[in-house]
Structure 1
Amino acid sequence: MIAGTVALPHGISARPARASDKDFLAKLFRDNRDDLKALDAGQDFINMTIDMQLDAQVNGYGNTFPNAIYLILEKNGSRIGRVTLDIGPVELRLIDLNFIKKAQNKGYGSGVIQWIMKAAAQTQRPLVVPTRRDNVVFLSYLLNCGFQEDASISDEVNARLVWFPTRSEMDGSAEIKPRKAASGTV
């Protein structure tokens, strides 16, 4: 569990979410739902749908991932995003990674992913990252970092990607960096 603030690459820090972050998290969710904003419907219906999705996400994460940790990402003291991780007995799972619009496409996400990969290696767990197939940039990035698709539970819309740390990455003798996937199948 993270008790304080942790330094991440690119001058970003992560800290546990607090009750005072609720409005920021709601705004972050609403601002990044371009898919729902594009619906051919009235603004009241779109707002209601976004609010329902937010409620479903908040309640769903709590029920589905009881061991999840919710972190706020900051840069220069300003909140720029969030990351949600589930720490299971067998695997570490990235549930959600989201940035405000101004912080997107600046390489911050790759720094956060590298940090999570290091945490997975240090705890000797595989890292699981489910992602949508239409998120081509993120999917390509993960594959280039050595993630493999677990086809047994992927589908046409979502891919479940898994990264297995090598023995040298787990013992700290090798740096975590993009590489071919570890041999074997998922």
Structure 2
Amino acid sequence: MGISLSFPAAAVAALPAPYQLRDQCTGDDDAFAADLYRATRDDLRQMPGDPAFVEQLISMQQRAQMLGYRQAYPQASYLVLQSADRPIGRLVIHREGAVLRLVDIAILPEARRQGAALAALTFLQALAAHDQLRIELAVGKDNLAARNLYQRLGFGLHGEDALQQQLAWSAA
């Protein structure tokens, strides 16, 4: 069961201007998703070697990520986060029963630390509270900024492994 963008008014109010969410549905959105993935992969872009090979590797990794998401979450919704009608990020969300899973959230590096992720997450919390859902997500242990944001928003540790923490939030 996918997520519809016909959210209740209370949830829409949780996404402040200048931010908007919309379905990822055009070829331009696919190109943006590829550019966004590339922008978030400093680890690969800084590899020594032929730049063309590195770009191929990044493209291959992005395709593998998308294939993995589509296999694991076939009914997921892919949303573009915009600021003043300009795409700055993407969310992949999947609802199964009473759980809303934030599969992925990515924000362009130049748009980070300006409130976009906070706006998107509080929007999801309002949606989840309205529909009495639990939000679950995974965050890399090395992603301190994201972990701090999730903690400020009331997400609690649900489990962990060597690389990631599993976090959960519910309004109840």
TM-score bracket, shorter-length normalisation: 0.7 to 0.9
The structure in which a higher percent of residues are strand is: 2
Structure 2 unpaired stretches of 5+: none
Q: TM-score, normalised by structure 1?
A: 0.81
Give 1:18's aligned residue.
25
Contact 1:86 1:93 in 2 (8 A): yes
The match for 2:105 among 97, 100, 106 is 97
| In 2, Cα distance between equivalents of 1:4 and 1:119 | 11
Structure label with greater radius of gyration = 1
Give 1:183's aligned residue.
none
Give 1:155's aligned residue.
161
The match for 2:114 among 106, 113, 134 is 106
| In 2, Cα distance between equivalents of 1:4 and 1:78 | 21
The match for 2:75 among 62, 67, 72 is 67
SS state of the match for residue 105, structure 1?
Answer: coil
Give 1:56's aligned residue.
64
Deviation at 1:125, TM superposition (A): 1.4
Task: Select the structure with the greater relative contact order (CA < 8 A; seq sep ≥ 6).
Answer: 2
Greater mean deviation of Cα atoms: 5-14 or 121-130: 5-14
Aligned alpha-carbon RMSD (Å): 1.8
- Per-residue CA deviations over 1:148-170 (Å, capped at 9, x if unaligned) read 1122xx2121000011212xxxx
Contact 1:10 1:111 in 2 (8 A): no
Greater mean deviation of Cα atoms: 86-95 or 33-42: 33-42
How many residue pairs are counted as aligned between the two chains?
A: 164
SS state of the match for residue 118, structure 2?
Answer: helix
Question: What does 1:107-146 correspond to in 2, within 5 Å?
Answer: 107-146=115-154
Contact 1:16 1:72 in 2 (8 A): yes
Report percent identity of matched pairs: 28
Deviation at 1:101, TM superposition (A): 2.6
Q: TM-score, normalised by structure 2?
A: 0.87
Contact 1:13 1:73 in 2 (8 A): yes
Runs of 4+ in 1 over 6 A off after TM superposition: none
Contact 1:117 1:127 in 2 (8 A): yes
Structure 1 unpaired stretches of 5+: 167-186
Deviation at 1:10, TM superposition (A): 4.0
Residues 134, 100 of structure 1: CA spacing in aligned structure 2 closer, same or farther, 3 A cutoff? same
